């Protein structure tokens, strides 16, 4: 993971994304089986209090803290418990820079705090939008807000001065990795004023693979054999990743956006050549 510090106010996520890599973390922590991840949500009620104690240590160097590495901080539970907002208040008071990843437009509720943190310590937000296709969204992310609602939130955050990019993640082989599907997300990010789009290919760790493949078989039966062949390990084969990420990068650079947060500041490199993408390995 490209960060040193992270906070997850909840364990488990009712967004119920079929492919979610965090399902593996949940099972490793002995919180339950893969199905429990969607329906048994652990609420870390004392997280803000413990965080304030940690931030008050003299040894704390005010390094960037990521919120939402392995569960969505703006899933429906947040509307009831408000832990993410309390955590943001603690980080603001300690003048700690923040990075935040979500699929929840509920983040707009805390726009006042995000603006304060931006001026005090710095903040960036990433909205995860793997597809703009309503059918793929309903099948693969049944508990999430619609992609169009997420894009509207990206637009509102950027208009408010909060740098907010899009994570095109995960790219689903044979389902959302075609040029038209990728371009739809990139075009939506451009319209929302996103400074970057980060493409990420699908990972299927043990446990997640066994949970996800039945959904592929149910909704995309002709892809079952290809998925079983492609995902014999957690990562797709290097040649597939090069193709998928190469095509995505080409479209992103063609649109004038960066493919990482760092490129946003340095400026994008020359666009790569388009790649012919094949699922079967």
Closest by CA to 202, choosing from 264, 258, 263, 130, is 130
pLDDT of 20 > 70? The answer is yes
Model confidence band, residue 30 (pLDDT cutoffs 50, 70, 90): confident
The mean pLDDT of 123-151, rounded to a whole number, is 98
pLDDT of 280 > 50? The answer is no
- Quick one: pLDDT at residue 1? 62
Contact 189, 165 (CB under 8 A): yes
pLDDT of 160 > 90? The answer is yes
273 part of a folded domain: no
- Quick one: pLDDT at residue 155? 98
For the range 43-47, what are the long-range contacts, defined as Cβ-Cβ under 8 Å and sequence gap of 24 or more?
43/9, 43/10, 43/77, 43/81, 43/83, 44/8, 44/9, 44/10, 44/11, 44/83, 45/81, 45/83, 47/7, 47/9, 47/83, 47/86, 47/87
- Quick one: pLDDT at residue 281? 37
- Quick one: pLDDT at residue 41? 94
- Quick one: pLDDT at residue 275? 46
Give per-residue pLDDT as tens, 167-214: 999 999 999 999 999 999 999 999 999 999 999 999 999 989 999 999
274 part of a folded domain: no
Residue appearing with tokens 């999430």: 144
Model confidence band, residue 24 (pLDDT cutoffs 50, 70, 90): confident
- Comparing 123-137, 184-198, 217-231, 249-263, the range with the smallest average pLDDT is 249-263
Model confidence band, residue 119 (pLDDT cutoffs 50, 70, 90): very high
Give the integer Cα–Cα distance in Å for 227 and 151. Answer: 29
246 part of a folded domain: yes
Task: Answer whether 0.75 is exceeded by the pTM.
Answer: yes
272 part of a folded domain: no
| Domain with 46 in it | 5-266
Please state the domain count of the chain: 1
- CATH number (domain holding residue 258): 3.80.30.30
280 part of a folded domain: no
Model confidence band, residue 9 (pLDDT cutoffs 50, 70, 90): very high
271 part of a folded domain: no
62 part of a folded domain: yes
Percent of the chain with pLDDT over 70: 92
- Quick one: pLDDT at residue 262? 55
CA distances from 157 to 65, 77, 148, 193 (A): 19, 22, 14, 9
The mean pLDDT of 59-72, rounded to a whole number, is 95
- Quick one: pLDDT at residue 92? 98
- Comparing 54-63, 169-178, 227-236, 267-276, the range with the smallest average pLDDT is 267-276
């Amino acid at each position: 993971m490209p960060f040193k510090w992270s906070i997850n106010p909840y364990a488990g996520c009712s967004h119920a994304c079929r492919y979610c890599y965090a399902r593996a973390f949940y099972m490793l922590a002995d919180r339950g089986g893969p199905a429990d991840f969607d329906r048994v949500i652990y609420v870390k009620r004392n997280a803000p209090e413990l965080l304030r104690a940690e931030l008050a240590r003299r040894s704390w160097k005010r390094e960037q803290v990521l919120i939402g590495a392995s569960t969505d901080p703006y899933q429906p539970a947040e509307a009831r418990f408000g832990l993410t907002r309390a955590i943001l208040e603690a980080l603001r008071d300690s003048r700690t820079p923040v990075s935040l990843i979500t699929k929840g437009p509920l983040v707009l509720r805390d726009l006042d705090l995000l603006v304060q943190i931006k001026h005090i310590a710095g903040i960036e937000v990433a909205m995860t939008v793997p597809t703009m296709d309503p059918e793929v969204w309903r099948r693969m992310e049944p508990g999430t807000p619609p992609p169009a609602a997420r894009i509207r939130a990206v637009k509102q955050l950027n208009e408010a001065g909060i740098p907010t990019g899009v994570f095109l993640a995960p790219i689903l082989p044979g389902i959302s990795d075609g040029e038209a599907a990728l371009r739809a997300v990139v075009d939506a990010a451009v319209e929302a004023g996103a400074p970057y789009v980060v493409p990420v290919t699908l990972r299927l760790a043990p446990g997640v693979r066994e949970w996800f493949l039945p959904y592929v078989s149910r909704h995309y039966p002709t892809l079952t054999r290809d998925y079983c062949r492609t995902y014999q390990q957690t990562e797709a084969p290097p040649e597939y990743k090069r193709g998928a990420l190469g095509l995505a990068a080409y479209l992103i650079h063609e649109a004038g956006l960066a493919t990482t947060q760092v490129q946003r500041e340095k400026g994008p490199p020359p666009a790569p050549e388009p790649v012919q993408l094949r699922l079967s390995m």
